[in-house]
Amino acid sequence: MFSISCLLVLAVWLTGVENSSTESRLDRAFIKRAVEDAIRTVDAAYKYSREADVSKLRESFSKPSDLLAFLKRPSRDTRSAVRSAEYMENALRLIQERTHHLHKRAINATDLLSKEDLETVERLTGCAARVQPPSCFTTPEVNEYRTINSVCNNRKNSRLGAANTAFTRWLPANYDDGVYIPRGWDPCKTHNGFVLPLVREVSNKILSTRNEEIEIDSVNTHFMVIFGQWTDHDLTLTPFSPSIRSFSNGINCDESCERASPCFPIKVPKNDPRIKNPAACIAFFRSAPACATGDSAYMFGDPNVRQQINSLTAFIDVGQVYSPEESLAKGLRNLTNDLGLMAVNQNFTDNGLELLPFTNVSSNMCATRRKGTNNSALNEIPCFVAGDERVNENIGLTAVHTLFVREHNRLARALRALNPHWSGEKLYQEARKIMGGYHQVITYRDYLPRILGERMMQLQVGPYTGYDENVDPRISNVFATAAFRFAHLTIQPSMFRLDENYNEHRQFPSVLLHNAFFANWRLVFEGGIDPLIRGLIGRQAKLNTQQHMLHQELRDRLFELTSHIALDLAALNMQRSRDHGVPGTGYNAWRKFCRLSQPKNVQELGLVLNNTDLAKRLIDLYGTPDNIDIWLGGISEPFVPGGRVGPLFACIIGTQFQRIRNGDRFWWENPGVFTQRQRESLNRVSLARIICDNTRIRDVPAQPFQYRPRGSGYTNCGQIPQFDLSPWNEPIGCGTELAP
């Protein structure tokens, strides 16, 4: 398969073919036929894949790879964006194949591109419309509230940071062909003189840890870990192609270990400790490509290189509650009244408190109750629906989703009591805006310093100096596929459930992680979210150490609901970085980017890692530090002082969060977004208070990310100040929108 943006090659194809002794350009009819055929090919593959998905979802249990694919399958506007990109990609493939039979001379990469022909392909595939910047002059309340997809956050570049645009790159991509083929695609190809190791082999030899071997973080709670996942789900989601079969040769990625995009299966090494079939592989789908339309398509690097789509906005705007898609955002609201509320479950409550609504999509993905209880007589329930499709991924994450939907509704009701003249739309938008402010404060004040350490927080993020429209806030590929995945090493192998005294819950005990995936029934029938929230704030995070990195729940039992091959999160992470062309020229390229030393041998790498044995094992696998996959190199480094990542990831994470903040026109501290009194209230927001207000928990740690043994540092909810909404009181006659 060819890159959608392989423009230099396209320049030759579209310049034409030789006709006798003269060059003649391809006529428009030829181009149109190729595009039409490409559209038919893609549509047929999508139809085949959708029918296969429906069949799988009706089965009792899906394969682990199916569950991951369902989570990453694009929908709504994202699906439209991916479809246009794949139309264009396949149109270029067909044009190349057909012109090859007519025109035999070697491709000259310096030939000029025919702008008119390129525009024809872009227009017919829909790619031109995907990157056309919309006007902000007709957008209602563009200066008062964020648009749901963050279009027009930047008035000068209206798509900057918006949903369904490409990730940015801070270093040029590194594909084996310079365009789209990932490193490791050809297992015999050498890099810096060495072949790359299989990612599953690296996982086996470097990361393997038994559940009972893990080490415990004495400082941080498990809530800090899940809040990191929660934040990631506000910032990054890379969709897979909707097709499960190759466009070029029609193979089914679920049924073959052949590499043909979008199939990029993970090969299993000999003598694998878990997977005994040497011909087996772990299914892996490449991320969907993004549309490109020439040198204006990307702000960094060569527009010929394959890019990937981020279906979320680049801003901390709580999209995992509200959704970055207009249609879903509307569907998540309770529009049966004019109260500005989010929709909640109409079938069940959590001891009188709200639960998330069920999806209306017919699916058995969450039908895990009978297997989880070993009782075939029990009724299954549908998945929950939220602003992010990964809401059901694990029950800890689902509990946090529930907590913040309740908080939105609490805010909307309190704002209505304060301003009974406000319309439902005003109540919804103001509650949403406050929620965004909450999360920005909590993330930068409470969460990031525990990850980066205070010194790196000051160096990499620094104090806020105001909004800068010239800052690119887009999420970088390296952040999404490598650096922010450090937290996988901090997840406990169990989801803890604790009683009112923060002891193990007798009726609903803690569950191993593989029994917590897609198990939303546990919130409905097993005590609600309170035992889970207590488990998050009352138990410690796992500590990432060089000896005990990734436990078996994530390395050998990920999404294990059947007897099919479970996934390996470590292998997935490294394969994803290769898929995205993230390695640059390897680990050292990113060390150089961060102005860190670049080790050249075992001795120097041993000094960087403060571990000569680990350095030797890495060099035995990779041959040179230059080849080390960045995710692995980053998680192997010793922590910065006071943090939970090494210098490389502290640099990348800190740089990303600085750009997210400084490039956000609606950042809570930016003058005009909130009043001075409102900012003072937001600055005092307490996650502990949010827990108190939306659960029946009565004693909490004052700082829920900081571990405190029971009896030390716990505070009664009655002693935690309420969030002050009085600055939002708006008397009638102050330009307020009146309710009908």
Q: Known binding site for heme b: residues?
A: 488
Three-state secondary structure along 189-226? CEECCEECCCHHHHHHHHHEECHHHCEEEEEEEHHHHH
Phi and psi angles of residue 555, each rounded to the nearest 5 degrees, phi first: -95, -25
Element (H, E) at 418: helix 395-418
CA dist 444 and 341 (Å) reads 27
Q: To which residue do tokens 């977004």 refer?
A: 673
For the stretch 362-366, contacts whose Cβ atoms lie closer than 8 Å and that sit 24 or more positions apart, written own/partner, are 362/54, 362/57, 362/58, 363/57, 363/70, 364/57, 364/58, 364/59, 364/60, 364/61, 364/62, 365/57, 365/62, 365/67, 365/70, 365/392, 365/518, 366/392, 366/518, 366/519, 366/520, 366/521
Task: Measure CA 165 to chain center.
Answer: 13
Phi and psi angles of residue 296, each rounded to the nearest 5 degrees, phi first: -95, -5
Q: Where are the alpha helices (DSSP H) in 586-667?
A: 587-593, 602-609, 612-622, 630-636, 647-662
The answer to whether the Cα torsion of 186, 634, 241, 89 is positive or negative is negative
- The CA distances from residue 219 to 231, 569, 608, in Å, are 20, 25, 25
Contact 543, 707 (CB under 8 A): no
CA atoms in the 13 A half-sphere facing the CB of 161: 30
Q: What is the DSSP letter of 727?
A: G
CA atoms in the 13 A half-sphere facing the CB of 71: 21
- The CA distances from residue 529 to 108, 259, 657, 691, in Å, are 62, 43, 30, 11
Phi and psi angles of residue 8, each rounded to the nearest 5 degrees, phi first: -65, -40
Could you report how far apart the first and last alpha carbons of the chain are, in Å?
56
Three-state secondary structure along 325-382? CHHHHHHCECCCCCCCCECCCCCCCECCECCCCECCCCCCCCCCHHHHHCCCCCCCCC
Contact 588, 625 (CB under 8 A): yes
Q: What is the DSSP letter of 457?
A: I
Bind-site residues: 488
Beta bridge partners of residue 209, listed in sequence order:
551
List 222, 233, 401, 514, catalytic entry:
233
Residue 100 a catalytic site member: no
By the 10 Å C-beta count (0-12 exposed, 13-18 middle, 19+ buried), 251 is classed as middle
Q: Which two tokens stand for residue 106?
A: 């070697």
Q: 271 Cβ partners below 8 Å, 6+ apart?
A: none
Catalytic residues: 233
